[in-house]
Chains A and B, each alone.
Chain A
Amino acid sequence: MEEKVPFVRVTRRQDFKKSSVWMIRILAFVIALVLGCFVFLLCGVSPLQAYAEIVKGAFGKMTGIRQTVKIMIPLLGTALALAPCFKMKYWNIGAEGQITMGAIGAAFFAINFHDKLPGAVLLAVMALAAMILGGLWSAVPAFFKSKWGTNETLFTLMLNYIAIGIVAWLQGGPWEGKEGSQIVPNFASNAILPKIGGIYCGWIIVLALVFFMYFYMNRTKHGYEIAVLGDSENTARYAGMDVTKVIVRTALISGAISGLVGFMLASGANQTIYSGIAANNGFTAITVAWLSQLNPFAMVLISALLAGLSKGSSSLKTAMGVPGSISDIITGIILLCLLGCEFFINYRLVFRHKEEKNV
């Protein structure tokens, strides 16, 4: 009997108070910073100076803050898009492709209709086209999953590469500027999102989305259906919910929001389209969504943290000559510690001899 008990096993725990949970997370962050010190020391850079440079670069000056917000917009927007899918335990890792398809939809109208439509109408049409394309790109794997039980993780992942491939073709083909250049020229001025406070107005759109998503997830029938389905598909069926409809609808909304992010990236941040336009936001947003426990307001903080790290570390590269890979390591360590501590919040390790004592 005793031989069957493993040396260490994992059991679920729910005994932490909310305050201590946050203490653990802060502690994990501090540990990450301390680990980061060693990396800087290895590289011959003063850790304090380096951290100060990161903070200064990200939040020190108005332009730094603007740049941080610019990085934050697509990250937050995509995390919000993923929230309902993850709540439903539908593993949509295709946000990258849905963003890219959104950008294609927006770019189509920016390129072909900029001289036919006035600015406000053009932007609205671009946004709508982006949401439709992004939504469809997401709804297809959801439909296949609910009808035939295909694996949505693989399906959405594969669709990313197809979307990126389509842009690569477009930028070397129909939308190419100078022949052979593989570059789509910048959009006309009426196809570009206006700036508010020195940053393209996407930040207002995502802030509105934060409230929308909170309301949608917590105060609507849809949100309730998503939560029930996420906990147990059988319960959802038993309660008379149309599971196929809920899955497809949720994926459609998620993809549409990702598509909207694609529109903002094309029209606001880049003012053109290229195959790397999603710039990994679709994947980094998964981290944001998880770290925030799918809470839209927490997503604002987490995406600000990640965007600040990204902006700060790029300043660090320029200011102190630290190689880019070092900043990536620091970001990696922080993410690892933050995600890792969630494990210890939710589970405890039980060692064999301890158990014997308990008995």
Chain B
Amino acid sequence: MKKLFSTLLSATMILTLAGCSNGGNTSASTGTEDKTYTVGMVCIGNAEMAYDRNFYNAADAAKEILADKGINIEWKYTYDHPEGDPVAADCTEFGEDGAIAVFLNSYGMENAMLTVAGDYPETVFASLTNEGSKSDDLDNTVNAFPSIFEGRYLTGIAAGMKLNEMIENGEITEDEAVLGYVGAYTYAEVVSGYTSFYLGAKSVCPSAKMLVEFIGSWGDPAMEATTAEHLIDQGAVVISQHSDSTTPATKCQEKGVYHIGYNIDMSDVAPEASIVSSTIDWTNYFVYVIETIVNGGTVDQDYMNHGLKDGDIKLTALNESVAAAGTAEAIEAAKQDIVDGKLHVFDTSTFTVDGKEVTEAYLDMNADFTPDDVNAISDGYYHESVYKSAPNFDLRIDGITLVNEAY
């Protein structure tokens, strides 16, 4: 049976050979500068995945920016290692190679990285989107998570504008202004994301309601599509998502409703449904870390409070043929207010929990998983990604219904 399995495995893999181009050999030619620094990246997937592609693009951009500053780097990648011992092995390998920095592109990798990072104090290990590295006793392990909720809020405005347009055209009534959201897990990162999206929509369409359904996975194309369809069946007319594939967008197109994306521009796969996407641009962070190390500085333990104002959070091109009239202007105005500090996404006067305004929401700052350290709410708003970069907004606000809460 094992033999048969090997044969089949080999056969399928040989078939996929066609896709293997001669990538990765571009670094040999740069011999003009005195030194080329090695930088590693541990990837949860590979070039085929939208999520990882977002990181490669940023890595390439960072390489160019650094070259202009006289810093030559060479990226080395490992693929398809989401967690566990393979990640530790990758980190060891990069550490041995003398990499000055290693970026881990998914939060599940942090545990494994922390088991070996202490062996390579000269290498900075950056666990992106997690929060255990900043509070451990190793100086060379850090965290980063740009303020994606700002981008989500802006795309929420686009969704709200679409709802308003549909109400005006008589396609739906005010009570039928329902948003849908395909969520991964009931994790603070996801809760923060869908709440900021909803608040953006509500800021322009006060009657908007939202349904959230969780799929129990960060990416599962079939499940994401089924869930989107389920939300549409329950009356959602604009859908957004916190999951890795583009199937919710294509499902929306098929069902004739609208869609707001995440990570990448989805208007190519769903030109009649996709309005806009929000995305994290990691270029700035890569440049910051590498430049700091090369210049002998200390990399911040946590990369907090970097969002729209720094260009770390971006929106993809607005799909004008689908977006409601005036969307671009509304987004631009809100963006300016956020950048100027006039508008706070989690303004406590704009939402309630069980009918009451919230004044207290404590954070866990010492990694004991008990949120009892700092009150994130002050000056009338929840300070998301201010005390620590990882999203922590975990309140279940009124107007959002969770279809399931099993995950």
Decide: A179 and B187 in contact? CB cutoff 8 A.
Answer: yes
Given contacts A42-B17, A61-B96, A177-B369, 10 further A-B contacts (CB under 8 A): A63-B92, A179-B186, A179-B187, A179-B394, A182-B185, A185-B369, A270-B112, A314-B78, A315-B93, A325-B20
Contact with B along A255-295 (1 / 0, CB 8 A): 00000000001000111101011010001001100100000
Cα distance A283–B9 in the bound complex, in angstroms: 14
Q: A186 interface residue, CB < 8 Å from B?
A: yes
Cα distance A185–B133 in the bound complex, in angstroms: 12
Overall SS of chain A's interface? helix
Output the least CB separation between A344 and chain B (Å). Answer: 13
Question: Which B112-131 residues have C-beta < 8 A from chain A?
Answer: 112, 114-115, 131
Decide: B80 and A324 in contact? CB cutoff 8 A.
Answer: yes
Give the chain B neighbours of A311 by CB distance below 8 A: 89
Q: B364 interface residue, CB < 8 Å from A?
A: yes
Cα distance A181–B190 in the bound complex, in angstroms: 10
Decide: B83 and A339 in contact? CB cutoff 8 A.
Answer: no
Give the chain A neighbours of B14 by CB distance below 8 A: 39, 329
Decide: A279 and B17 in contact? CB cutoff 8 A.
Answer: no
Decide: A336 and B7 in contact? CB cutoff 8 A.
Answer: yes
Give the chain B neighbours of A336 by CB distance below 8 A: 3, 6-7, 10
Q: B288 interface residue, CB < 8 Å from A?
A: no
Cα distance A279–B2 in the bound complex, in angstroms: 17
Q: Contacts A290-B2, A325-B20, A336-B7 given: A183-B78 contact, CB under 8 Å? A: no
**Closest CB pairs A-B (n = 4):** A321-B24, A180-B187, A332-B10, A329-B13
Cα distance A177–B111 in the bound complex, in angstroms: 11
Decide: B10 and A333 in contact? CB cutoff 8 A.
Answer: yes
Give the chain B neighbours of A333 by CB distance below 8 A: 10
Decide: A186 and B89 in contact? CB cutoff 8 A.
Answer: no
Give the chain A neighbours of B108 by CB distance below 8 A: 182-183, 274
Give the chain A neighbours of B9 by CB distance below 8 A: 328-329, 332
Output the least CB separation between A354 and chain B (Å). Answer: 26
Give the chain A neighbours of B40 by CB distance below 8 A: 318
Q: B387 interface residue, CB < 8 Å from A?
A: no
Question: Which B69-112 residues have C-beta < 8 A from chain A?
Answer: 76-80, 83-86, 88-90, 92-94, 96-97, 107-108, 110-112
Give the chain A neighbours of B111 by CB distance below 8 A: 183-186, 270-272, 274
Contact with B along A38-69 (1 / 0, CB 8 A): 01001110000000000000000101100100
Give the chain A neighbours of B115 by CB distance below 8 A: 186, 270-271
Give the chain A neighbours of B20 by CB distance below 8 A: 43, 322-323, 325-326
Q: Which residue of A lies closest to B82 (CB)?
A: A276
Q: A87 interface residue, CB < 8 Å from B?
A: no
Cα distance A270–B112 in the bound complex, in angstroms: 6
Q: A118 interface residue, CB < 8 Å from B?
A: no
Partner of B13, one of A180, A185, A325, A340: A325
Q: B23 interface residue, CB < 8 Å from A?
A: yes
Contact with A along B4-31 (1 / 0, CB 8 A): 0011011001101101101111000000
Partner of A317, one of B10, B78, B92: B78
Give the chain A neighbours of B407 by CB distance below 8 A: 172, 180
Q: B343 interface residue, CB < 8 Å from A?
A: no
Q: Which residue of B lies closest to A325 (CB)?
A: B13
B interface bracket (residues with beta carbon within 8 Å of A): 35 or more
Output the least CB separation between A165 and chain B (Å). Answer: 12
Output the least CB separation between B221 and chain A (Å). Answer: 19
Overall SS of chain B's interface? helix
- What are 11 sample pairs from A and B whose C-beta atoms fall under 8 A apart? A44-B22, A61-B96, A178-B369, A181-B107, A276-B83, A314-B86, A318-B76, A322-B20, A332-B9, A333-B10, A339-B2
Interface residues on chain A, number (Cβ under 8 Å): 54
Q: B188 interface residue, CB < 8 Å from A?
A: yes
Q: A241 interface residue, CB < 8 Å from B?
A: no
Output the least CB separation between A214 and chain B (Å). Answer: 24
Cα distance A49–B115 in the bound complex, in angstroms: 32
Decide: A178 and B2 in contact? CB cutoff 8 A.
Answer: no
Cα distance A318–B89 in the bound complex, in angstroms: 12
Partner of B85, one of A178, A184, A279: A279
Contact with B along A173-216 (1 / 0, CB 8 A): 00001111111111000000000000000000000000000000
Give the chain A neighbours of B76 by CB distance below 8 A: 318
Q: Which residue of A lies closest to B76 (CB)?
A: A318
Decide: A340 and B3 in contact? CB cutoff 8 A.
Answer: yes
Give the chain A neighbours of B83 by CB distance below 8 A: 274, 276
Partner of B89, one of A272, A314, A340: A314
Contact with A along B371-407 (1 / 0, CB 8 A): 0000000000000000000000010000000000001
Cα distance A181–B367 in the bound complex, in angstroms: 13
Output the least CB separation between A268 and chain B (Å). Answer: 10
Give the chain B neighbours of A43 by CB distance below 8 A: 17, 20, 22
Cα distance A7–B35 in the bound complex, in angstroms: 67
Give the chain A neighbours of B189 by CB distance below 8 A: 180
Q: Which residue of A lies closest to B89 (CB)?
A: A67
Give the chain B neighbours of A186 by CB distance below 8 A: 111, 114-115
Give the chain A neighbours of B80 by CB distance below 8 A: 324
